[in-house]
Every structure is written in C-alpha cells, then in structure tokens.
C-alpha cells in the first residue's frame, strides 16, 4: 500500500497523538525526520517556521489580553463618570435629565469598543 504526503502526515499526526510519552527531544525529532527521509535543512526550516509562528501566537495572545484590559478600564471609567453625572444631574436639575446625552454618546463608543474586543 502507498500513501501520498498528506495521508502520511495525517497518519503520523494520529500516531503522535496516541504516543503516551507526550514530549519529544530535539534529537528524537531529528532521528524521526531522518528515518522519514526529511533533510536536515528542511527540518531546520520547518522548526524555524514553527518557532516564528509560536512567537506570533504569543504576541496575539498578549495583545488580546491587553485589549480586554483596556476595555475593562474603559468600562470602569464609564460607570464612574456617568454615575457621577447622573448624581450631579439629580441634585442640580432633577426636572431635566441632561445626563442622558453623555451617557448615550459615550455608551455608543463603549459598545463599539466591546464589539471590537469581542471579535477576538
């Protein structure tokens, strides 16, 4: 029976998932690649590509956490400032609820910020 490269990759992925050890040393990876006929140059290039991708994933994760933290800060500021404005409005001119205007305007900005953060 023969397999194309995609099928071989899928079979190897299944085999690696079934592996109980869970971790491989670099030497083991080099040995496996050698047995499969993968050149050391190809292995080094693949390893470098994988490492680059891992760095990008880590940066994205950190960026996402930072965006969530910024939204949380924005929400706390929104609640504090608009709570103060509502209280000020109730004490100074209870007959006219002018605090609704900054509440709605800023609330729209906060909603857009939340939509942007929740897309992650």
97: its two tokens:
């609820």
Q: Distance between CA 80 and CA 90 in Å, rounded? A: 15
Q: Which of 32, 14, 12 is closest to 24 using CA atoms?
A: 32
Query: Which DSSP helix (H) or strand (E) runs through 100?
Result: helix 100-118
- Position 119 in a domain: yes
Q: Is the pTM of this model over 0.75?
A: no
Number of separate domains in the chain:
2
Coil, helix or strand at residue 23:
coil
Band (pLDDT 50/70/90 cuts) for residue 120 is low
Q: Would you say residue 56 has pLDDT above 80?
A: yes
Provide the residue range defining the domain that includes 114: 55-120
Cβ partners under 8 Å of residue 50, min gap 6? none
> Do 59 and 115 belong together in one domain?
yes
pLDDT digits (tens, 9 = 90+) for 66-108: 899 999 999 999 999 999 999 999 999 999 999 999 999 999 9
């Amino acid at each position: 029976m023969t397999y194309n490269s995609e099928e071989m990759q899928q079979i190897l992925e299944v085999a690696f998932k079934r592996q109980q050890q869970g971790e491989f040393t670099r030497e083991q990876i080099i040995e496996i690649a050698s047995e499969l006929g993968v050149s050391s140059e190809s292995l080094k290039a693949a390893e470098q590509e994988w490492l680059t991708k891992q760095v990008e994933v880590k940066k994205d994760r950190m960026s996402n956490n930072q965006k969530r933290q910024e939204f949380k800060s924005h929400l706390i500021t929104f609640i504090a400032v608009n709570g103060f404005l509502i209280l000020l409005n109730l004490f100074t001119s209870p007959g006219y609820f002018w605090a609704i205007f900054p509440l709605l305007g800023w609330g729209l900005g906060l909603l857009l910020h939340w939509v942007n953060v929740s897309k992650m």
